[in-house]
Structure 1
Amino acid sequence: MTTLSANDVELAARAADNFTHLYYSTYDSATRVDDLPNFYRPTSSLTWNGKPFQGSDGVRELVGAMPPTRHEVQCFDCHPIPGSQPPNLLITVSGTVAYGRRPPGNSKSVDDQPRAFSQTFMLVPDPTAPPSKAGEVAKYYVNADALRFVG
């Protein structure tokens, strides 16, 4: 069994921070239908409020059918999983998401109001990415993703 060093934990935390910022800014962008699937592979699984989707095509199908989003990440946590080098990462995210084009607070519609969510990602090292240099964050892709509204 591979053990984790303090450096592994620090690099995992940096990777999670980078991933979280990039993922949600991409999700909320005008180009998300084209760009968000790049975080996934054909074998990736996604469960959105109990509904399963498969791979980058499933992600494209899901986000293509929803109105624009505005995510606000309130917190995230990262757990590196021993067994590979670099380690797989289990990331949990909590926050709110609003759907629609209006700024928050300017509408009485329930569709435009922020909803609390919890999302869990399993990131695995991307074998097609060039090797990371010492002290550099590894390149990852989403192997599994589960989102649930909480409230």
Structure 2
Amino acid sequence: MPSGMEDDILVQLSYSAAKAFVSTYYADLHNAREKLSSYYSPTASISWNGNQLTGGADVQKLHTQMLPATYEVQCFDAQPLLPNGRGQCSIMLATNGYVKFGEEKDAALRGFSETLVLEPDTSTTPIQFLVTQQSFRFVF
């Protein structure tokens, strides 16, 4: 069982990794949708407003068929999940914010809430995190 200091370190590392993920992922949702599949494990389980998708290719296809969108994350929270015994742990990331579809300045903002599970990809150096589970919902 991790000590209090180890818990604090895991929380800080989870926050740092989640902050980096949020800053790049949501920017790519707006500017570089062709990169989306690289954020997902091939077998990721995704629920996007009740629609079931599998892996990054499905997510990329969904977003390329949509109007351009601007995501504004208002807040996020990241918590480490149990370490895997190899010195790594997954991260549960919750985000909330607004999304605007279309390019018009006065396009309506819609609230969204999203929960993602990020797992370390040990095949990359430095280690990056991939989405293995995602649940996205519009907030009404």
Aligned pairs for 1:52-91 within 5 A: 52-84=52-84, 85-91=87-93
Which ranges of structure 1 fall in alignment gaps of 5 or more residues? 106-111, 133-137
Instruction: Tell me which stretches of 4 or more aligned residues in structure 1 moved more than 4 Å.
Output: 1-4
Quick check: 1:120 aligned with 2:115? yes
RMSD: 1.5
Greater strand content: 2
Cα separation, 1, equivalents of 2:75 and 2:63: 23
What is residue 95 of structure 1 aligned with on the other side? 97
Q: TM-score, normalised by structure 1?
A: 0.84
Counterpart residue type for residue 139 of structure 1: Q
TM-score by length of 2: 0.90
**Higher helix proportion, which one?**
2
SS state at 1:15 partner? helix
Supply the distance in 1 between the matched residues of 2:77 and 2:60 (Cα, whole angstroms): 26
How many aligned residue pairs are there? Answer: 136
Percent of residue pairs bearing the same amino acid type: 32
Structure 2: gaps (5+ residues): none
CA deviation vs aligned residue, 1:109-138 (integer Å, no higher than 9, x gap):
xxx3110000000000002112x5xxxxx4
